[in-house]
Amino acid sequence: MLNIICMNSMDLKFIKKKIYTFVKIISTVLITSAIGLESWNIYAIITNINVPSSLNPIFWIERFAMMSHFVESIIAAFYAPSRQKMPIKYATYTFFVGTIGLLDYLVSRMTIDASMP
């Protein structure tokens, strides 16, 4: 029975690692796409090209996502020195991967705090 519990815990860690990796990849692709979409929208406005109004909800969603990731990256940059990380590098990483970047920080911070006497 104990062996099954340990194995399940090990499987959960493996699954969590795989899910985190998948979310990091998807998040990076989507944020990069959002940057491209917003760049196209700005170009269309500057050159007086009509953008279909059906894309407006997509623009609002991508702006919300980019602002959320931007706030997360500011938080990461603020706390990066406490992990002996470069703020700009850690902020850029967190901007592209999102909340997972902050979770990486919190998990490592908890393990460091727990190991201190």
Q: How far apart are CA 108 and CA 85, in angstroms?
A: 12
Residue 1 is classified by DSSP as: -
Residue with tokens 């269309």: 44
**Mean pLDDT in the chain?**
84
- pLDDT score for 103: 83
pLDDT, one tens digit per residue, over 34-46 is: 999 999 999 999 9
Amino acid 105 reads Y
pLDDT-derived band at 80, boundaries 50, 70, 90: confident
pLDDT-derived band at 113, boundaries 50, 70, 90: low
- pLDDT score for 88: 94
Q: How far apart are CA 56 and CA 37, in angstroms?
A: 11
Q: What is the pTM of this model?
A: 0.76
* Four-residue CA torsion sign, 49, 56, 54, 61: positive
